Amino acid sequence: MNKLSEIGKVYIVGAGPGNPQLLTLKGQGCLTQANSVFYDALVDERILSYAPLDAQKIYVGKRGGRPSQSQEEINELMIKYAQEGHCVVRLKGGDPFVFGRGAEEGIALQNAKIPFEIVPGVSAAMGVTAAAGIPLTHRGLASAAVIVTGHEDPDKDTSDVEWPKLAKIDATLVIFMGIQKIKTICDLLIQEGKDPNTPAAVIQSGTTSTQRNVFGQLSDLSRLATDSAIKSPALIIVGPAVSIQQHLRFDIKYPLHGRRIMITRPREQAFDLAQELIDFGADVYNVPMIKLISPSDLSPIKQAISKLTTYDWLLFTSANGVIFFFKHLNSQDLDARALNNIKIVTIGPATSKAVSKFGLITDLEAKQSNQEGIVAAFESLSVTNARILFPSSDLGRSHVAEALGQRGAIVDQVVAYKNIPPTESELILPSPLKTGLMDWIIFTSPSTIQNMFKIVPQDLRKKIFATANIACMGPTTGETAITHGLTVDVVPQNHKPHSLVQSLCNFESSK
């Protein structure tokens, strides 16, 4: 259990304005240490994946007057879990101290003598306006910005918001939680002296792939927002600085703009692919459909490593095979120097890249990224009596071992890792997947398909596959998808993430 003492600690963390990439590094670091996470409604659920799989994720959000836990109940829960020694992360949208009630929670923790820390986040006031190309301040247009709540009823007799003064102040107004009262707010500002022609905007779901922008003048902003069916969460921005947004818009419509794409491989292995998809405008969801662990019986791989000097070739058919082989090698107090007399053959460029990370160069690389490609790569070489070590998964195909064995090679295929489905508690299905709104699902290996059919209920699978396009990393994975009754839309020529992304872009551009 992660704790500094018998009493745990609470981190009140700002999750940012919506886009999960805007979570701070400090916030991410806190999540990786958490035993318990209390999160709000506006927190993107993908951020929860940074917390350990066994961490408790407890929803305490409040939305639109729906039944929810009171602030006092949330405070009591945090205190209770911290007193039990938990590392608690209180995850809040935006910044905890900007209409986030973070100060109230901090005071409650202080009174209970619970150690706590405030981790700032990117406030919607800064993040959402920037995403819409609206500067809060700009020389000659606005030298100040005022952040105010629109949740109060502007017509009530007493108000903490002095709308008459705000109407006269020369500043950019950023109004939180005001969409339900937008007409009243706009009318009151004009009534109190604000120029009806003042540039104004409403931004819904800012910084996310579903961001919607409405620009106009203060006098017609309410009508424009209603006509566009703008809903919460949304910010209202009023002031001359809104007028230059057309010169600062950077939401270029990339080929994958707004496309929701799910990757099924483990997060640490999906980073390059995910980042490139994001660079082309995609909204990426990482939902690992496989879990890789060492085999319970390590004697076969240990025995193979003990006689490394007897092998001529070391064969890898995946980056995972490389990673686990070197893990077992290191566990025997050995490193890459133990392979100085062995040649290395790989299934393709991604696997060769994994080999290079251990300071080694691939001697032979298959041109076709499957086991048949490896067999073809050996065609011009004599393998009679050649000894080949093949570390694979427990689900690894034996085609290459059989084919090379028929040519006189001695192939020792040993299990280096097991490929198992994630447990139900480890599998976090994102909302777009559960509601049938995922545009693409990328399968990176046959087992990601097999496991999805094992884990995800049939009725949900039907909803998912009725609307989602399917992309497969390599022909073997594509064939597995077809045998499961799926229509495969994209299979790149090789296993490089860039090739897959380009194939997706070409597909979308041709629609």
How far is the C-alpha of 119 from the C-alpha of 30, rounded, in Å?
9
CA angle 398, 403, 404 (to 5 degrees): 105
- Condensed to tens digits (0 to 9), the pLDDT of residues 432-482 reads 999 999 999 999 888 899 999 998 999 999 999 999 999 998 888 999 999
pTM check: above 0.85? no
Which entry of 40, 44, 95, 439 is annotated as an active-site residue? Answer: 40
194 given a catalytic annotation: no
- Burial label for 121, CB within 10 Å (0-12, 13-18, 19+), is buried
The pLDDT of residue 31: 97
Q: Flag the least confident range among 124-138, 292-306, 422-436, 495-509.
A: 422-436
Alpha carbon 78 to chain centroid, angstroms:
26
How far is the C-alpha of 58 from the C-alpha of 52, rounded, in Å?
14
Q: Whole-number mean pLDDT of the chain?
A: 91
Which residue is listed with tokens 């990176």? 444
pLDDT band, very low/low/confident/very high, at 64 (cuts 50, 70, 90):
low
- Condensed to tens digits (0 to 9), the pLDDT of residues 208-226 reads 888 999 999 999 999 999 9
The pLDDT of residue 73: 93
Which entry of 3, 57, 177, 272 is annotated as an active-site residue? Answer: 177
Instruction: List b or e across 264-280, with b for residues whose CB sees 16 or more CB atoms inside 10 angstroms.
Output: bbbeebbeebbebbbeb
Which entry of 26, 57, 62, 418 is annotated as an active-site residue? Answer: 62
The pLDDT of residue 10: 97
The pLDDT of residue 4: 44
- The answer to whether the CB of 84 falls within 8 A of the CB of 2 is no
62 given a catalytic annotation: yes
183 given a catalytic annotation: no
How far is the C-alpha of 274 from the C-alpha of 283, rounded, in Å?
9
How far is the C-alpha of 305 from the C-alpha of 53, rounded, in Å?
32
What is the mean predicted confidence (pLDDT) over 276-295?
91
Q: Which residues contact 124 (CB under 8 A, 6 or more apart)?
A: 17, 18, 93, 94, 98, 176, 206, 233, 235
Q: Do the bridges between strand 291-293 and strand 410-420 make them parallel or antiparallel, or are there none, so unpaired?
A: antiparallel
Residue 21 has φ and ψ, to the nearest 5°, of -70, -10
- Condensed to tens digits (0 to 9), the pLDDT of residues 165-177 reads 999 999 999 999 9
Enumerate the β-bridge partners of residue 92.
14
